[in-house]
Structure 1
Amino acid sequence: MEGRYKSLEIKQKSSNSPVFYVYLNRPSRGNALSLDFFVEFPEALSSLDQNPNVAVIILAGAGPHFCSGIDLQTLNSLSKDTVSKDAGRNGEKLRREIKFLQRSITAIEDCRKPVIAIVHGACVGGGVDIVTACDIRYCTQNAYFSVKEVDLAITADLGSLQRLPSIIGFGNAMELSLTARRLSGLEAKQLGLVTQVFDSMEAMEDGVAAIAEGIAAKSPLAVVGTKRVLIRSRDLTLDQGLDYVATWNSGVLLSDDLNDAISAQRQKRKPVFSKL
Protein backbone atom coordinates (compact mmCIF):
# COMPACT_ATOMS: atom_id res chain seq x y z
CA MET A 1 0.00 0.00 0.00
CA GLU A 2 2.87 2.35 0.78
CA GLY A 3 4.37 4.15 -2.20
CA ARG A 4 1.29 3.82 -4.41
CA TYR A 5 0.28 7.45 -4.26
CA LYS A 6 1.72 10.77 -5.45
CA SER A 7 -0.10 12.97 -2.93
CA LEU A 8 -0.42 10.63 0.06
CA GLU A 9 1.62 8.33 2.25
CA ILE A 10 0.06 5.39 4.11
CA LYS A 11 1.81 4.11 7.22
CA GLN A 12 1.28 1.35 9.73
CA LYS A 13 3.62 2.33 12.54
CA SER A 14 3.43 -1.03 14.27
CA SER A 15 3.10 -4.28 12.36
CA ASN A 16 0.39 -5.63 14.67
CA SER A 17 -1.53 -2.37 15.11
CA PRO A 18 -5.00 -1.90 13.57
CA VAL A 19 -4.38 1.88 13.46
CA PHE A 20 -3.21 3.17 10.06
CA TYR A 21 -1.99 6.67 9.18
CA VAL A 22 -2.80 8.61 6.03
CA TYR A 23 -0.42 11.54 5.50
CA LEU A 24 -1.12 14.38 3.09
CA ASN A 25 2.29 14.26 1.46
CA ARG A 26 3.20 17.40 -0.45
CA PRO A 27 5.18 19.16 2.31
CA SER A 28 7.02 21.46 -0.09
CA ARG A 29 3.62 22.91 -1.10
CA GLY A 30 2.13 22.95 2.40
CA ASN A 31 0.18 19.81 1.42
CA ALA A 32 -1.91 21.87 -1.01
CA LEU A 33 -4.60 19.70 -2.58
CA SER A 34 -3.76 18.76 -6.16
CA LEU A 35 -5.89 16.93 -8.70
CA ASP A 36 -3.89 13.81 -7.78
CA PHE A 37 -5.20 14.13 -4.23
CA PHE A 38 -8.83 14.23 -5.31
CA VAL A 39 -8.32 11.04 -7.33
CA GLU A 40 -6.14 9.20 -4.81
CA PHE A 41 -7.73 10.12 -1.49
CA PRO A 42 -11.06 8.29 -1.94
CA GLU A 43 -9.18 5.33 -3.41
CA ALA A 44 -6.89 5.17 -0.38
CA LEU A 45 -9.80 5.41 2.07
CA SER A 46 -11.73 2.73 0.23
CA SER A 47 -8.70 0.43 0.29
CA LEU A 48 -8.24 0.95 4.03
CA ASP A 49 -11.97 0.56 4.64
CA GLN A 50 -12.00 -2.83 2.93
CA ASN A 51 -8.86 -4.02 4.73
CA PRO A 52 -9.91 -6.16 7.74
CA ASN A 53 -6.60 -5.34 9.46
CA VAL A 54 -7.57 -1.64 9.65
CA ALA A 55 -9.82 -0.51 12.50
CA VAL A 56 -9.05 3.23 12.80
CA ILE A 57 -7.50 5.76 10.41
CA ILE A 58 -5.50 8.79 11.57
CA LEU A 59 -5.23 11.62 9.03
CA ALA A 60 -2.21 13.92 9.31
CA GLY A 61 -0.02 16.23 7.26
CA ALA A 62 3.65 15.72 6.39
CA GLY A 63 5.99 18.62 7.07
CA PRO A 64 5.21 21.81 9.02
CA HIS A 65 1.53 22.13 8.03
CA PHE A 66 -1.58 20.00 7.85
CA CYS A 67 -2.99 21.53 4.66
CA SER A 68 -2.68 24.95 3.01
CA GLY A 69 -5.85 24.48 0.96
CA ILE A 70 -6.55 23.64 -2.64
CA ASP A 71 -3.63 24.06 -5.02
CA LEU A 72 -4.00 27.25 -7.07
CA GLN A 73 -2.99 25.31 -10.18
CA THR A 74 -6.00 23.09 -9.60
CA LEU A 75 -8.23 26.16 -9.40
CA ASN A 76 -6.70 27.57 -12.57
CA SER A 77 -7.28 24.34 -14.46
CA LEU A 78 -10.94 24.31 -13.40
CA SER A 79 -11.50 27.94 -14.41
CA LYS A 80 -9.76 27.65 -17.80
CA ASP A 81 -10.97 24.20 -18.85
CA THR A 82 -13.91 25.03 -21.11
CA VAL A 83 -15.64 22.70 -23.57
CA SER A 84 -17.42 25.17 -25.84
CA LYS A 85 -18.30 28.80 -26.37
CA ASP A 86 -21.63 28.20 -24.65
CA ALA A 87 -21.68 29.45 -21.04
CA GLY A 88 -24.40 26.98 -20.09
CA ARG A 89 -22.42 23.93 -21.21
CA ASN A 90 -19.26 25.21 -19.55
CA GLY A 91 -21.23 25.79 -16.37
CA GLU A 92 -22.66 22.28 -16.45
CA LYS A 93 -19.16 20.84 -16.88
CA LEU A 94 -17.85 22.92 -13.98
CA ARG A 95 -20.69 21.66 -11.79
CA ARG A 96 -19.70 18.06 -12.54
CA GLU A 97 -16.09 18.84 -11.66
CA ILE A 98 -17.11 20.44 -8.35
CA LYS A 99 -19.26 17.40 -7.54
CA PHE A 100 -16.23 15.19 -8.23
CA LEU A 101 -14.13 17.20 -5.78
CA GLN A 102 -16.93 17.08 -3.21
CA ARG A 103 -17.15 13.29 -3.40
CA SER A 104 -13.44 13.03 -2.59
CA ILE A 105 -14.05 14.77 0.75
CA THR A 106 -17.33 12.99 1.48
CA ALA A 107 -15.37 9.73 1.14
CA ILE A 108 -14.30 10.35 4.76
CA GLU A 109 -17.90 10.06 5.94
CA ASP A 110 -18.57 7.14 3.59
CA CYS A 111 -15.63 5.22 5.09
CA ARG A 112 -16.92 2.75 7.69
CA LYS A 113 -13.80 3.03 9.83
CA PRO A 114 -13.42 6.08 12.12
CA VAL A 115 -11.18 8.81 10.66
CA ILE A 116 -9.36 11.00 13.19
CA ALA A 117 -7.72 14.26 12.07
CA ILE A 118 -4.58 15.49 13.84
CA VAL A 119 -3.80 19.07 12.82
CA HIS A 120 -0.60 21.08 13.19
CA GLY A 121 0.40 24.33 11.51
CA ALA A 122 -1.98 25.61 8.84
CA CYS A 123 -5.37 24.10 8.16
CA VAL A 124 -6.78 26.43 5.53
CA GLY A 125 -9.57 26.30 2.97
CA GLY A 126 -9.73 22.75 1.68
CA GLY A 127 -8.02 21.61 4.86
CA VAL A 128 -11.06 22.78 6.84
CA ASP A 129 -13.30 20.92 4.37
CA ILE A 130 -11.34 17.77 5.17
CA VAL A 131 -11.29 18.02 8.96
CA THR A 132 -14.97 18.92 9.26
CA ALA A 133 -15.75 15.63 7.48
CA CYS A 134 -13.58 13.68 9.95
CA ASP A 135 -15.12 11.92 12.92
CA ILE A 136 -12.81 13.35 15.63
CA ARG A 137 -10.37 16.26 15.48
CA TYR A 138 -7.30 17.14 17.58
CA CYS A 139 -4.67 19.84 17.09
CA THR A 140 -1.45 21.31 18.45
CA GLN A 141 -1.11 24.73 20.06
CA ASN A 142 0.55 26.10 16.90
CA ALA A 143 -2.33 25.01 14.67
CA TYR A 144 -4.61 27.56 13.05
CA PHE A 145 -7.71 27.24 10.91
CA SER A 146 -9.18 29.52 8.25
CA VAL A 147 -12.19 29.20 5.98
CA LYS A 148 -10.18 31.11 3.41
CA GLU A 149 -12.24 30.83 0.24
CA VAL A 150 -13.95 34.22 0.44
CA ASP A 151 -10.52 35.87 0.19
CA LEU A 152 -10.07 34.10 -3.16
CA ALA A 153 -13.48 35.30 -4.43
CA ILE A 154 -14.91 31.79 -3.98
CA THR A 155 -17.90 30.46 -2.07
CA ALA A 156 -16.50 27.43 -0.22
CA ASP A 157 -18.02 24.43 -1.96
CA LEU A 158 -16.39 21.24 -0.61
CA GLY A 159 -18.30 20.92 2.65
CA SER A 160 -17.16 23.49 5.21
CA LEU A 161 -20.32 25.61 4.89
CA GLN A 162 -22.48 22.51 5.30
CA ARG A 163 -20.61 20.70 8.11
CA LEU A 164 -19.07 23.49 10.17
CA PRO A 165 -22.37 24.92 11.54
CA SER A 166 -23.31 21.59 13.14
CA ILE A 167 -19.87 21.42 14.80
CA ILE A 168 -19.35 24.97 16.12
CA GLY A 169 -22.79 26.55 15.70
CA PHE A 170 -24.35 28.58 12.90
CA GLY A 171 -23.27 32.01 14.12
CA ASN A 172 -19.64 31.02 14.65
CA ALA A 173 -19.53 29.33 11.25
CA MET A 174 -20.99 32.39 9.57
CA GLU A 175 -18.47 34.73 11.21
CA LEU A 176 -15.46 32.57 10.36
CA SER A 177 -16.61 32.01 6.77
CA LEU A 178 -17.30 35.68 6.04
CA THR A 179 -14.18 37.09 7.67
CA ALA A 180 -11.75 34.29 6.66
CA ARG A 181 -9.89 35.11 9.87
CA ARG A 182 -7.45 32.76 11.56
CA LEU A 183 -8.83 30.58 14.32
CA SER A 184 -6.14 29.48 16.79
CA GLY A 185 -5.91 25.97 18.15
CA LEU A 186 -7.03 27.11 21.58
CA GLU A 187 -10.05 28.97 20.17
CA ALA A 188 -10.86 25.93 18.04
CA LYS A 189 -11.05 23.93 21.27
CA GLN A 190 -13.31 26.55 22.87
CA LEU A 191 -15.70 26.44 19.89
CA GLY A 192 -15.71 22.63 19.77
CA LEU A 193 -13.95 22.26 16.42
CA VAL A 194 -11.30 20.12 18.11
CA THR A 195 -11.59 17.90 21.17
CA GLN A 196 -8.14 18.52 22.65
CA VAL A 197 -5.08 20.73 22.08
CA PHE A 198 -1.60 19.22 22.50
CA ASP A 199 1.67 21.01 23.21
CA SER A 200 3.51 19.45 20.25
CA MET A 201 3.11 17.17 17.25
CA GLU A 202 4.92 14.39 19.09
CA ALA A 203 2.62 14.65 22.10
CA MET A 204 -0.42 14.69 19.81
CA GLU A 205 0.70 11.63 17.85
CA ASP A 206 1.35 9.69 21.07
CA GLY A 207 -1.89 10.79 22.71
CA VAL A 208 -4.11 10.20 19.70
CA ALA A 209 -2.45 6.85 18.97
CA ALA A 210 -3.52 5.68 22.43
CA ILE A 211 -7.07 6.96 21.81
CA ALA A 212 -7.20 5.24 18.42
CA GLU A 213 -5.94 1.95 19.85
CA GLY A 214 -8.69 2.17 22.47
CA ILE A 215 -11.35 2.61 19.78
CA ALA A 216 -9.80 -0.20 17.74
CA ALA A 217 -10.17 -2.58 20.69
CA LYS A 218 -13.95 -2.13 20.75
CA SER A 219 -16.50 -4.11 18.78
CA PRO A 220 -16.06 -3.12 15.13
CA LEU A 221 -19.78 -3.63 14.54
CA ALA A 222 -20.57 -1.18 17.34
CA VAL A 223 -17.97 1.35 16.13
CA VAL A 224 -19.16 1.24 12.52
CA GLY A 225 -22.78 1.44 13.62
CA THR A 226 -22.14 4.39 15.94
CA LYS A 227 -20.42 6.37 13.17
CA ARG A 228 -23.10 5.62 10.62
CA VAL A 229 -26.04 6.35 12.93
CA LEU A 230 -24.54 9.67 14.11
CA ILE A 231 -23.85 10.86 10.56
CA ARG A 232 -27.24 9.73 9.29
CA SER A 233 -29.13 11.19 12.27
CA ARG A 234 -27.59 14.60 11.62
CA ASP A 235 -30.08 15.07 8.78
CA LEU A 236 -33.07 13.34 10.41
CA THR A 237 -35.70 14.31 12.94
CA LEU A 238 -35.50 12.65 16.36
CA ASP A 239 -38.19 10.11 15.47
CA GLN A 240 -36.53 9.35 12.14
CA GLY A 241 -33.16 8.92 13.83
CA LEU A 242 -34.60 6.54 16.42
CA ASP A 243 -36.27 4.54 13.66
CA TYR A 244 -32.99 4.39 11.74
CA VAL A 245 -30.99 3.06 14.70
CA ALA A 246 -33.72 0.55 15.50
CA THR A 247 -33.49 -0.77 11.95
CA TRP A 248 -29.70 -0.80 12.11
CA ASN A 249 -29.57 -2.70 15.39
CA SER A 250 -32.21 -5.17 14.26
CA GLY A 251 -29.65 -6.31 11.72
CA VAL A 252 -26.42 -6.35 13.75
CA LEU A 253 -27.20 -6.17 17.48
CA LEU A 254 -27.49 -9.93 18.06
CA SER A 255 -23.87 -10.73 17.18
CA ASP A 256 -20.91 -12.71 18.47
CA ASP A 257 -19.49 -9.34 19.56
CA LEU A 258 -22.42 -8.81 21.94
CA ASN A 259 -22.07 -12.31 23.37
CA ASP A 260 -18.34 -11.92 23.96
CA ALA A 261 -18.73 -8.43 25.44
CA ILE A 262 -21.25 -9.77 28.00
CA SER A 263 -19.08 -12.81 28.72
CA ALA A 264 -15.99 -10.63 29.18
CA GLN A 265 -17.84 -8.40 31.65
CA ARG A 266 -18.79 -11.43 33.73
CA GLN A 267 -15.31 -12.95 33.58
CA LYS A 268 -13.57 -9.60 34.16
CA ARG A 269 -11.43 -9.93 31.03
CA LYS A 270 -10.97 -7.96 27.84
CA PRO A 271 -13.24 -9.05 25.00
CA VAL A 272 -11.72 -10.25 21.74
CA PHE A 273 -13.63 -9.34 18.59
CA SER A 274 -13.28 -10.65 15.06
CA LYS A 275 -12.02 -8.31 12.36
CA LEU A 276 -14.49 -6.59 10.10
Structure 2
Amino acid sequence: MANTKKTKTRIAAVGDIHVRETDRGKWEEYFAQVSQVADVLLLCGDLTDTGRTSEAEVLAHELKSCSIPVVAVLGNHDYERDHHKGIRKTLVKENVHLLDGDCIVIGDVGFAGVKGFGGGFDKGMLGMFGETMIKSFVQEAVDEALKLDGALSRLESEHTDLKKIAVLHYAPIRATVEGEPEQIFPFLGSSRLAEPINRRGVVAAFHGHAHIGTLEGETSKGVKVFNVSKPILMKEGFDPAVYILEV
Protein backbone atom coordinates (compact mmCIF):
# COMPACT_ATOMS: atom_id res chain seq x y z
CA MET A 1 0.00 0.00 0.00
CA ALA A 2 1.32 3.46 -0.90
CA ASN A 3 2.30 5.78 1.92
CA THR A 4 -0.30 8.56 1.97
CA LYS A 5 1.07 10.37 4.99
CA LYS A 6 1.43 14.08 4.25
CA THR A 7 4.67 15.77 5.19
CA LYS A 8 4.83 19.00 7.14
CA THR A 9 6.31 22.14 5.62
CA ARG A 10 8.44 24.25 7.95
CA ILE A 11 7.86 27.93 7.16
CA ALA A 12 10.40 30.45 8.47
CA ALA A 13 9.24 34.05 8.52
CA VAL A 14 10.85 37.39 9.32
CA GLY A 15 10.15 41.00 8.37
CA ASP A 16 11.89 44.34 8.63
CA ILE A 17 15.45 43.16 8.09
CA HIS A 18 16.36 46.64 6.75
CA VAL A 19 19.51 45.63 4.89
CA ARG A 20 22.04 48.46 4.43
CA GLU A 21 24.86 49.03 1.98
CA THR A 22 27.35 48.32 4.78
CA ASP A 23 25.81 44.91 5.59
CA ARG A 24 27.86 42.79 3.19
CA GLY A 25 28.81 39.63 5.08
CA LYS A 26 26.44 40.34 7.97
CA TRP A 27 23.58 38.07 6.88
CA GLU A 28 25.31 35.05 5.33
CA GLU A 29 25.39 32.99 8.53
CA TYR A 30 21.82 34.00 9.39
CA PHE A 31 20.42 32.74 6.07
CA ALA A 32 22.52 29.58 6.30
CA GLN A 33 21.13 28.87 9.78
CA VAL A 34 17.54 29.46 8.64
CA SER A 35 18.08 27.05 5.75
CA GLN A 36 18.88 24.29 8.24
CA VAL A 37 15.67 24.66 10.25
CA ALA A 38 13.07 25.43 7.58
CA ASP A 39 11.85 24.46 4.11
CA VAL A 40 10.74 27.94 2.96
CA LEU A 41 11.75 31.45 4.04
CA LEU A 42 9.25 34.34 4.03
CA LEU A 43 10.58 37.92 3.99
CA CYS A 44 7.72 40.17 5.06
CA GLY A 45 8.74 43.56 3.70
CA ASP A 46 11.20 46.33 4.50
CA LEU A 47 13.91 44.27 2.92
CA THR A 48 16.02 47.41 2.49
CA ASP A 49 16.64 50.20 4.96
CA THR A 50 16.23 53.29 2.77
CA GLY A 51 14.82 51.86 -0.45
CA ARG A 52 18.02 51.89 -2.48
CA THR A 53 18.67 49.35 -5.22
CA SER A 54 22.24 49.11 -3.91
CA GLU A 55 20.87 47.78 -0.61
CA ALA A 56 18.91 45.14 -2.50
CA GLU A 57 22.13 44.16 -4.27
CA VAL A 58 23.72 43.50 -0.88
CA LEU A 59 20.70 41.41 0.17
CA ALA A 60 20.84 39.46 -3.10
CA HIS A 61 24.49 38.62 -2.42
CA GLU A 62 23.76 37.55 1.17
CA LEU A 63 20.90 35.32 0.01
CA LYS A 64 23.38 33.14 -1.88
CA SER A 65 23.90 31.36 1.46
CA CYS A 66 20.17 30.54 1.64
CA SER A 67 19.54 27.06 0.23
CA ILE A 68 15.73 27.03 0.56
CA PRO A 69 13.08 28.85 -1.53
CA VAL A 70 12.56 32.51 -0.58
CA VAL A 71 9.13 34.18 -0.85
CA ALA A 72 8.95 37.93 -0.22
CA VAL A 73 6.88 41.08 -0.39
CA LEU A 74 8.11 44.66 -0.37
CA GLY A 75 7.47 47.10 2.48
CA ASN A 76 7.11 50.84 2.79
CA HIS A 77 10.88 51.34 3.21
CA ASP A 78 11.42 49.61 -0.12
CA TYR A 79 9.30 52.31 -1.79
CA GLU A 80 11.04 55.23 -0.04
CA ARG A 81 13.18 56.34 -3.03
CA ASP A 82 10.93 55.04 -5.79
CA HIS A 83 13.53 52.35 -6.56
CA HIS A 84 11.07 49.52 -5.97
CA LYS A 85 11.27 48.32 -9.58
CA GLY A 86 15.06 48.06 -9.32
CA ILE A 87 14.79 46.31 -5.96
CA ARG A 88 12.33 43.84 -7.42
CA LYS A 89 14.49 43.15 -10.49
CA THR A 90 17.60 42.66 -8.36
CA LEU A 91 15.97 40.12 -6.04
CA VAL A 92 14.09 38.24 -8.73
CA LYS A 93 17.45 37.66 -10.44
CA GLU A 94 18.49 35.85 -7.24
CA ASN A 95 15.41 33.59 -7.59
CA VAL A 96 13.40 35.34 -4.87
CA HIS A 97 9.67 34.84 -5.42
CA LEU A 98 8.66 38.48 -4.95
CA LEU A 99 4.87 38.67 -4.67
CA ASP A 100 2.63 41.65 -5.41
CA GLY A 101 -0.83 40.25 -5.97
CA ASP A 102 0.86 37.05 -7.14
CA CYS A 103 1.03 33.52 -5.77
CA ILE A 104 3.51 30.66 -5.74
CA VAL A 105 3.08 26.99 -4.87
CA ILE A 106 5.89 25.21 -3.02
CA GLY A 107 5.15 21.59 -2.20
CA ASP A 108 1.59 21.45 -0.89
CA VAL A 109 1.57 25.07 0.35
CA GLY A 110 0.38 28.05 -1.66
CA PHE A 111 1.68 31.52 -0.82
CA ALA A 112 -0.21 34.70 -1.80
CA GLY A 113 1.42 38.05 -1.12
CA VAL A 114 0.92 41.81 -1.19
CA LYS A 115 2.52 44.76 0.53
CA GLY A 116 -0.79 45.87 2.01
CA PHE A 117 -1.48 49.38 3.25
CA GLY A 118 -2.85 51.41 6.16
CA GLY A 119 -6.30 52.68 6.98
CA GLY A 120 -7.00 51.45 10.49
CA PHE A 121 -8.88 48.61 12.08
CA ASP A 122 -12.44 47.60 12.85
CA LYS A 123 -14.62 50.54 13.95
CA GLY A 124 -11.62 52.86 13.57
CA MET A 125 -11.14 51.99 9.90
CA LEU A 126 -11.05 55.00 7.62
CA GLY A 127 -14.01 55.25 5.23
CA MET A 128 -14.00 56.48 1.66
CA PHE A 129 -15.49 59.90 2.34
CA GLY A 130 -14.24 63.45 2.10
CA GLU A 131 -11.33 64.92 0.20
CA THR A 132 -9.81 63.26 -2.82
CA MET A 133 -6.58 62.67 -0.86
CA ILE A 134 -8.47 60.68 1.79
CA LYS A 135 -10.30 58.67 -0.85
CA SER A 136 -6.99 57.88 -2.55
CA PHE A 137 -5.53 56.68 0.76
CA VAL A 138 -8.50 54.38 1.35
CA GLN A 139 -8.50 53.20 -2.25
CA GLU A 140 -4.90 52.02 -1.90
CA ALA A 141 -5.92 49.71 0.95
CA VAL A 142 -8.93 48.50 -1.04
CA ASP A 143 -6.71 47.76 -4.05
CA GLU A 144 -4.21 45.82 -1.94
CA ALA A 145 -7.01 43.74 -0.40
CA LEU A 146 -8.38 43.01 -3.87
CA LYS A 147 -4.95 41.94 -5.09
CA LEU A 148 -4.61 39.58 -2.13
CA ASP A 149 -8.08 38.19 -2.78
CA GLY A 150 -7.22 37.61 -6.43
CA ALA A 151 -4.02 35.75 -5.58
CA LEU A 152 -5.78 33.57 -3.01
CA SER A 153 -8.60 32.92 -5.48
CA ARG A 154 -6.12 31.65 -8.07
CA LEU A 155 -4.62 29.27 -5.53
CA GLU A 156 -8.11 28.10 -4.64
CA SER A 157 -9.19 27.44 -8.21
CA GLU A 158 -5.97 25.85 -9.48
CA HIS A 159 -5.03 23.76 -6.43
CA THR A 160 -8.04 22.76 -4.34
CA ASP A 161 -6.09 20.83 -1.68
CA LEU A 162 -3.41 23.44 -0.93
CA LYS A 163 -2.69 24.94 2.46
CA LYS A 164 -2.84 28.70 1.84
CA ILE A 165 -0.53 31.25 3.50
CA ALA A 166 -0.86 35.04 3.22
CA VAL A 167 2.33 37.11 3.17
CA LEU A 168 2.08 40.86 3.87
CA HIS A 169 4.01 43.80 5.23
CA TYR A 170 1.13 45.79 6.75
CA ALA A 171 -1.01 44.20 9.46
CA PRO A 172 -4.48 42.80 8.70
CA ILE A 173 -5.63 42.93 12.34
CA ARG A 174 -5.29 45.26 15.32
CA ALA A 175 -4.08 42.60 17.78
CA THR A 176 -0.59 42.28 16.29
CA VAL A 177 0.11 46.04 16.35
CA GLU A 178 -0.83 46.35 20.02
CA GLY A 179 2.12 47.88 21.86
CA GLU A 180 2.62 50.61 19.27
CA PRO A 181 1.23 54.10 20.03
CA GLU A 182 -2.50 53.94 19.28
CA GLN A 183 -2.29 57.21 17.36
CA ILE A 184 -0.33 55.50 14.56
CA PHE A 185 -2.52 52.39 14.22
CA PRO A 186 -4.12 53.74 10.99
CA PHE A 187 -0.64 53.72 9.40
CA LEU A 188 0.24 50.19 10.49
CA GLY A 189 -2.40 48.22 8.62
CA SER A 190 -6.01 47.79 7.67
CA SER A 191 -8.87 45.43 8.49
CA ARG A 192 -9.65 45.40 4.76
CA LEU A 193 -6.75 42.96 4.39
CA ALA A 194 -8.40 40.51 6.80
CA GLU A 195 -11.51 40.05 4.67
CA PRO A 196 -9.92 37.86 1.96
CA ILE A 197 -7.86 36.05 4.60
CA ASN A 198 -11.07 35.10 6.41
CA ARG A 199 -13.01 34.19 3.27
CA ARG A 200 -10.40 32.17 1.39
CA GLY A 201 -9.56 29.54 3.99
CA VAL A 202 -6.09 30.79 4.81
CA VAL A 203 -4.12 28.71 7.32
CA ALA A 204 -2.01 31.61 8.62
CA ALA A 205 -0.90 35.13 7.72
CA PHE A 206 2.48 36.77 8.33
CA HIS A 207 3.36 40.46 8.36
CA GLY A 208 5.90 42.91 9.75
CA HIS A 209 6.00 46.74 9.91
CA ALA A 210 5.01 47.17 13.58
CA HIS A 211 8.40 46.88 15.30
CA ILE A 212 7.03 47.05 18.84
CA GLY A 213 3.74 45.30 18.21
CA THR A 214 2.63 41.84 19.33
CA LEU A 215 3.86 38.53 17.96
CA GLU A 216 0.58 36.68 17.59
CA GLY A 217 -3.12 37.32 17.12
CA GLU A 218 -6.02 36.02 15.07
CA THR A 219 -8.71 37.30 12.76
CA SER A 220 -12.41 37.37 13.61
CA LYS A 221 -12.68 33.92 11.96
CA GLY A 222 -9.81 32.46 13.98
CA VAL A 223 -7.04 32.61 11.36
CA LYS A 224 -3.65 32.89 13.07
CA VAL A 225 -1.73 36.10 12.28
CA PHE A 226 1.95 36.52 13.14
CA ASN A 227 3.83 39.80 13.35
CA VAL A 228 7.34 38.61 12.51
CA SER A 229 9.09 41.99 12.54
CA LYS A 230 12.71 41.19 13.39
CA PRO A 231 12.82 43.51 16.45
CA ILE A 232 9.87 41.62 17.95
CA LEU A 233 11.46 38.23 17.30
CA MET A 234 14.69 39.41 18.92
CA LYS A 235 12.79 40.74 21.94
CA GLU A 236 10.99 37.38 22.26
CA GLY A 237 14.33 35.58 22.31
CA PHE A 238 14.23 33.78 18.96
CA ASP A 239 17.72 32.71 17.87
CA PRO A 240 18.12 32.99 14.97
CA ALA A 241 15.53 35.76 14.80
CA VAL A 242 12.98 33.92 12.69
CA TYR A 243 9.56 32.44 13.45
CA ILE A 244 8.99 28.80 12.44
CA LEU A 245 5.51 27.46 11.70
CA GLU A 246 4.87 23.89 10.56
CA VAL A 247 1.85 23.44 8.28
- Alignment TM-score > 0.5, same fold: no
What TM-score results when the alignment is normalised by the length of structure 2?
0.33
Q: Which has the higher contact order (CA 8 A, sep 6+)?
A: 2
Q: Give the helix-richer structure, 1 or 2.
A: 1
What TM-score results when the alignment is normalised by the length of structure 1?
0.30
